[in-house]
Structure 1
Amino acid sequence: MKNDIWFLSRRFFTVVFVVFFLSLGSAIAKPEPPPEMQAWLKKAELGAYEPSKENWDEIVKKATEEGEVIVYTSSGRIQKLVKSFGKVYPGIKLTVHDLGSTKSVEKTKREQQAGIYNADVVTTGNSGQVIHEMLNKNLLVNYVPHHFKSRIPREYREPLLIRVNEAVVFFYNMEAFTNGSPVTNIWEFTEPRFKGRVGMKNPMSSGSTFMAVMTLIQHPQEMAAAYKRYKGEEIKLSDGVPDAGYEFWARMLKNDIVIFKSGSKLAAASGKKGQKNPLLAFANMTYIARNDSKGFVNAIVQDLDPVAKLLYPTFTAIARQAPHPNAAKVFTAFVLGSTELNKNSKLSKPYTKGASSDLLLG
């Protein structure tokens, strides 16, 4: 059994490492768009053909004539915008394909390679693939509505618009752990008392989880230092494991970490009320909203050595040769919220109704 577990961990790390470096290896000079894409860019007034000043009323008019915007997304929350988008733009149908981060990338790539241009907007994480395999290969076009440019720092709008910065965190169940977080050091999750008690989404199908895994792997010195603070001694690596970053995940696998296909089910496994032995979850922080919508009792481990939150960007871009480019522009502005939203704005629950909704959605 021990050999089987080690084979699994070695295979897991091999796959993660190969995928990671393949994404880096594709970071080559961006080629010129082919003629058919150039013609589309010119007509859509995107890329090099974007005007110095936008006529937003004209864009909305053209978008209404197009009549639809098709979105590929990694987030189920986009589906919830259909009604509110329709109220603001009754002449534009919002069609959402909730695919997850990896499938959003894969579907877009496969379709475009086959000459199928179905998507208007792609909004997803998975930054390595999105930047190097999509933007840098002319599968996506960066677009920032002009009335938002002065409000968004350059690093959040170039080379690709970041719709939101999100995070992967550890959840614990507040009913089961009434005194607060059961851990203060990340290495505690590898101990026997948490054997089979920690869940995560499959990093081979979840780009955000994959990036979180790789973030810990890329900081072996910090992971080793955290281990020494926890145990009072230097870490001893398993045979064949190069450093403390990989060692952490090797030990997590040996400790029977539970792999989920669904982020929603993972959040429920840690957060549902009335559980005797709920899991702790290595999950997307956005699922904390299920405490309000579904009555979960998840809490975020706030103070965790060496790190509590692993940040990742979620991008929004217009897909190459999108059939409804103006509607794509309108949707992009819509999800960025109102230009009246600022740090002094007061938001109140429920955020999906009333003045708060008007500020959060454009």
Structure 2
Amino acid sequence: MGIQMGEMKIYILALLMLATMIQSSWGQVRKPKTLDELVAYTGADRHQILVEGAKAEGKIVWYTSLSGVYRELVDAFKKKYPDIAIDVYRGGSTDLGPRLLNEAQAGRFVADALESTPGLLMLLREGKILKPYTSPELSRYPDEAKTKADGGRVYWVTDREAYLGFGYNTRLIPAADAPKNFQDLLRPAFKGKLAVTTESSTSRVIGTMLKFKGEEFVKRLHGQDVRLFKASSAGFLDLIAAGEVAGSPVVFQNQVIVKKERGAPIEWVPLDVAPTNAGGSAVIANAPHPHAALLFTEFVIGAEGQKLMEQFRYGVAWKDYPFKREYPERGMTSAEYEKAEDKWLQLTRSLTKRQN
């Protein structure tokens, strides 16, 4: 009986060893290689696999609507991974959308990764141009920063934010008199002193006012003689700094910070909420260089990429700020958002007086 028990123990031990060897061998054989496998892989060797695969692929093609900081992101990535070249195509969302859709329809896949704004990302998600992915870097981000897909993956994650609030010339509006909320914009002291732009940021602020204060409140702004300027957000801020406009509720905080550092007499305060213009990082379906696509995306949403975003005065989604964020497009389809933007634009035009 003792011999039988001993033999049984040896037999069981041999089976366990064999199972371990098979499992190890299977794991070695089944290293992820395709995009489908890579976007879902969570093994401890994930980063090593991405680096080695990206080096073998040799390059990444990145489409982006970022300005300024995109060069620094590219340079930092190339410094860290000198064996991986980066081809960058930069354009506005109205340029990137048709380009990506046309490439997909033609079966000519060029782009690997994308960084752009939610309107374009929603359109591409609905067109099945985006590939949901997972990443260990996602753990730092709150749920509201992730546009989720199945299986714990995301279509994109918010990698940068710019906050809209009341920007004003401190020589024309003392800090004590600056508005603290939307309601304050109706104060008689602000009549004839406020202005907005034809940029989409104005429409997003109007849409936010509609949500939080209602249409009747927004229509009352007509009595404040709000001027409408055809100018970029940066050009419009120049008008405020020069004193041609006293203040506006459609000013980006990050642009004010930069201007203040250069000595401009301007300041920024949030109102009830801060409408937020966000940018997100996504992976393109059928990416020709899948390892590089994921490696670069993880660089942008990781510590090094996020540090660069902050250096350019962008907010980051995983930090808390002393105001509440509002994302006007959240929960909408691209068609719904387009329709809403058109409504907000028409309302803006009805409330304002065109200047140039």
Question: 2:243 & 2:143 partners in 1: Cα distance?
Answer: 48
Q: Which residue of 2 aligns with 1:17?
A: none
Partner of 2:244: 277
The residue that corresponds to 2:166 in the other structure is 170
The separation in 1 between residues aligned to 2:189 and 2:108, in whole angstroms, is 51
Q: Residue 50 of structure 2 aligns with which residue?
A: 59
Q: Distance in 2 between matches of 1:141 and 1:68?
A: 19
1:202-213 superposed matches below 5 A: 202-203=199-200, 209-213=202-206
Equivalent runs, 1:156-305 vs 2, <5 Å: 156-159=145-148, 160-180=156-176, 182-186=178-182, 189=185, 193-195=190-192, 197-203=194-200, 209-219=202-212, 222-223=213-214, 243-244=215-216, 247=219, 255-260=226-231, 262-271=232-241, 275-278=242-245, 280-281=247-248, 282-291=250-259, 294-302=262-270, 304=271
Letter in 2 for 1:244: E
Matched, 1:109 2:101: yes
Query: CA 1:42–1:263 in structure 2 vs 1: closer, same or farther (change >3 Å)?
Result: farther
Shift of 1:121: 1.9
Residue 138 (str. 1) matches residue 131 (str. 2): no
Write out per-residue CA displacement over residues 258-290 of structure 1, whole angstroms, 9 at most, x where no aligned residue. Answer: 132x3332333334xxx2434534133332342
Instruction: State the alpha-carbon separation in 1 of the partners of residues 101 and 177 from structure 2.
Output: 42
The amino acid across from 1:135 in the alignment is R
- Equivalent position amino acid for 2:300 in 1: V
1:173-215 per-position Cα deviation (integer Å, ceiling 9, x unaligned): 2344344553344356566955474233522xxxx55444322
Say if 1:74 and 1:195 are closer, same or farther in 2 by CA, change over 3 A.
farther
1:15-54 mapped onto 2 (5 Å cutoff): 43-45=34-36, 50-53=40-43
Q: Distance in 1 between matches of 2:262 and 2:102?
A: 36
Distance 1:67 1:297 in 2: 48
1:255 aligned partner, one-letter code: V
Q: In structure 2, do the counterparts of structure 1 residues 183 and 212 end up closer, same or farther at CA, with 3 Å as the change threshold?
A: closer
What's the CA shift string for 1:236-268, capped at 9, x where partnerless? xxxxxxx3265267667x6322132x3332333
Q: Contact between 2:60 and 2:85, CA under 8 Å: does it hold in 1?
A: yes
Which stretches in structure 2 are left out of the alignment for 5+ residues?
Answer: 1-31, 149-155, 313-318, 320-356
Alignment-mate amino acid for residue 167 of structure 1 = Y
Question: RMSD across aligned C-alpha pairs, in angstroms?
Answer: 3.7
In the alignment, which residue of structure 2 is the partner of 1:152?
141
**TM-score (norm: length of structure 2):** 0.62
> For 2:62 and 2:177, how far apart are their aligned partners in 1?
38
1: CA distance, partners of 2:157 / 2:79: 25
Letter of the 2:296 counterpart:
F
Corresponding residue of 2:337: none
Given that 1:117 and 1:322 are in contact with CA atoms closer than 8 Å, whether structure 2 keeps it comes out as: yes
Q: Which one has a bigger Cα radius of gyration?
A: 2
Number of residue pairs matched by the alignment: 269
Aligned-pair CA distance for 1:59: 0.7
Offset of 1:100 from its aligned partner?
3.5
Which of residues 82, 90, 112 in structure 1 aligns to 2:82? 90
Tell me, what secondary structure is at the counterpart of 1:75? coil
Query: 1:237 aligns to what?
Result: none
Give the share of equivalent positions with the same residue, in percent.
20
Counterpart of 2:196, as a letter, is G
